Structure 1
Amino acid sequence: MDAITSHPDVFGHGLLMSLQISACTFVLAAAIGLLLAVCRISPVRPLRLFAAVYVSTVRSVPLLVLLALFVFGLPEIGLVYSLFWTVVTAMALYWAAFLCETVRAGVRAVPVGQTEAARALGMTFGQVLGSVIVPQALRCTVQPMASLLIAVVLNSSLAAAVGVTQELTGQTVLLDQQYAQPLVTFGAAAVCYVLITLAIGRTAAVLDRRLAVLR
């Protein structure tokens, strides 16, 4: 236990960095994913085609490959910025594709009659989206969104593979190299990930009950 008890600040900093990466990634992915979902159901055919191609392409690429492409490839064409935001951007663009499909599934759960009624009242496409479809769609996707957030948290560990050694997995590797106690160090990291995912799942269950759309 020396690896953990002797360096609680190092381990805590790694956990905090993982949470920061996950939070920034999910917020950015949510914004991009929602925009892509709107394009997917848009009456404008080029927008639908663009979103469909984006989702199909990005979901076919492993996240680690995309991270390596951004971290090691972008500097070769002159695009250089902080490693933290490079990783967050790559992960956000990746998870936005999955979030887009989650939102689109929520849109399909909204009764068609409500959309038709809104159009009959003379509402524009934007008004129908903002006032009728999107609010209900998001309330229908609380659990799927929580599953995506859990996936984002767990996959934030891949940041260590491209040089972000400050996050939890990276700090765990460094501590293990120093103390050679893999059972303790990686076991503690596993417990942290389990506690985070349990907290997300529990919160999602409460929100799902409170925000459920009554039919």
Structure 2
Amino acid sequence: MSISKDDTAGPGSGGPATAGSPVPPAAVKAIPVRHYGRWISAAIVLGLLVLVGLAFANAEIHWPTVPDYLTYGTILTGAWNTLKITVLAMLLGVVLGTLLAVMRLSKNPVMSSVAWGYIWFFRGTPVLVQLLLWYNLALVFPILDLGFYRDEMNDVMTPFLAALLGLGLNEAAYMAEISRAGIQSVDEGQTEAAHALGMTGPRTMRRIVLPQAMRVIIPPTGNEFINMLKTSSLAFAIQFPELLKAASTIYSRNLAVMELLLVATLWYLALTTVFSIGQYYLERYFQRGSTRTLPPTPLQKIRKNLGSFRTPSRVGGTTV
């Protein structure tokens, strides 16, 4: 019996494959997966936005008035006063709130009770009511007498001071809870290790606990700052010349009510946008070392969202 050369050929010799030889894979054809729901929902949202834009475009609004007053002197002064009272009230709230958080966590029952009572009162009453209370304080205390200083309360409690106390003291109650949550997020072993090294309580809080708690404190604090920027418009009620008060002063003369309110809206949007970007990068800075990869920047998020509209494909039954 003779055996031909073709019968003895192996898998790589081009001859017929034996039972044990591997079968080469077939060519894989990529089949696009159509996501019609994405495009339909995007079209509906864009259509609604177009309708809203057309409604405002055809409304009885004198649009050239809006850019004319964006850089008007009174508006710029109001925007500066808004920014100033926001920063100062927030500083007062952060400093006092941190102190109240430490007092709340104190083992001294008097300190913790006083801090709890402060938080209970200022969180339980509206900001507008607190502003009016400070502004009308002269009705119950006509004269401010500190022993070394004496003056009429009306001269002392100016709209600026009333706004600063009303906004700042109210914010301190919320910052106290934010700071307390941040401090409690740090493992107790950190404090015990610091005490074992001979560090005092205040030094441990300043050098060990607070720096680690900042990762938890910063995000809600940024939100509180942006909220404070908008809440400052309530100072309008006590005649403080912030942005909304400046706009109302102008439209009470020229009757361009909607146009000036749009001017104030654009300024609020611009300020909150700037500080939102700053908050994002501040959070990103404090997240270094706590995560393997830093969160994407706003530009990277935009690129990712635009890329999500690309049609994925199916390869071998798997969507990619």
TM-score range, shorter chain: over 0.9
Q: Distance in 1 between matches of 2:67 and 2:256?
A: 10
Given that residues 4 and 11 in structure 1 are in contact (C-alpha distance below 8 angstroms), is that contact kept between their aligned partners in structure 2? no
Higher helix share: 1
Superposition map of 1:6-45 within 5 A: 8-45=72-109
- Matched residue pairs, number? 214
- The aligned residue for residue 193 of structure 1 is 268
CA 1:27 to 1:124, structure 2 compared with 1: closer, same or farther past 3 Å?
A: same
Deviations 1:105-163 (A, max 9, x none): 11122122212222222322112111111122224321111111111111111111111
Instruction: With a CA cutoff of 8 Å and minimum separation of 6, indicate the structure with the bigger relative contact order.
Output: 1
Q: Distance in 2 between matches of 1:12 and 1:3?
A: 14
Given that residues 186 and 212 in structure 2 are in contact (C-alpha distance below 8 angstroms), is that contact kept between their aligned partners in structure 1? yes
- The aligned residue for residue 136 of structure 1 is 212
- The aligned residue for residue 5 of structure 1 is 68
**Corresponding residue to 2:223 among 147, 158, 171:** 147
TM superposition shift of 1:44: 1.6
CA 1:44 to 1:201, structure 2 compared with 1: closer, same or farther past 3 Å?
A: same
Aligned-residue Cα RMSD (Å) equals 1.7
Higher strand share: 2
Q: Which moved more, 1:148-157 or 1:106-115?
A: 106-115
Q: Percent of counterpart pairs with the same letter?
A: 27
Superposition map of 1:1-215 within 5 A: 1-2=64-65, 5=68, 8-77=72-141, 78-79=143-144, 80=153, 81=156, 82-164=158-240, 166-212=241-287, 214-215=289-290
Q: Distance in 2 between matches of 1:29 and 1:74?
A: 24
Given that residues 214 and 286 in structure 2 are in contact (C-alpha distance below 8 angstroms), is that contact kept between their aligned partners in structure 1? no
Given that residues 66 and 262 in structure 2 are in contact (C-alpha distance below 8 angstroms), is that contact kept between their aligned partners in structure 1? no
Q: Distance in 1 between matches of 2:138 and 2:274?
A: 36
Q: Distance in 2 between matches of 1:3 and 1:13?
A: 17
TM superposition shift of 1:183: 2.1
Moved over 3 A (4+): 1-4
TM superposition shift of 1:60: 0.2
Could you state the TM-score of these two structures normalised by the residue count of structure 2? Answer: 0.63
Given that residues 140 and 213 in structure 1 are in contact (C-alpha distance below 8 angstroms), is that contact kept between their aligned partners in structure 2? no
Q: Distance in 2 between matches of 1:74 and 1:95?
A: 23
- The aligned residue for residue 48 of structure 2 is none
Q: Distance in 1 between matches of 2:168 and 2:68?
A: 34
TM superposition shift of 1:75: 4.9
TM superposition shift of 1:4: 5.8
For structure 1, list consecutive stretches of 5 or more residues without a partner in the other structure: none
Q: Which moved more, 1:172-181 or 1:75-84?
A: 75-84
Secondary structure, counterpart of 1:141 in structure 2: helix
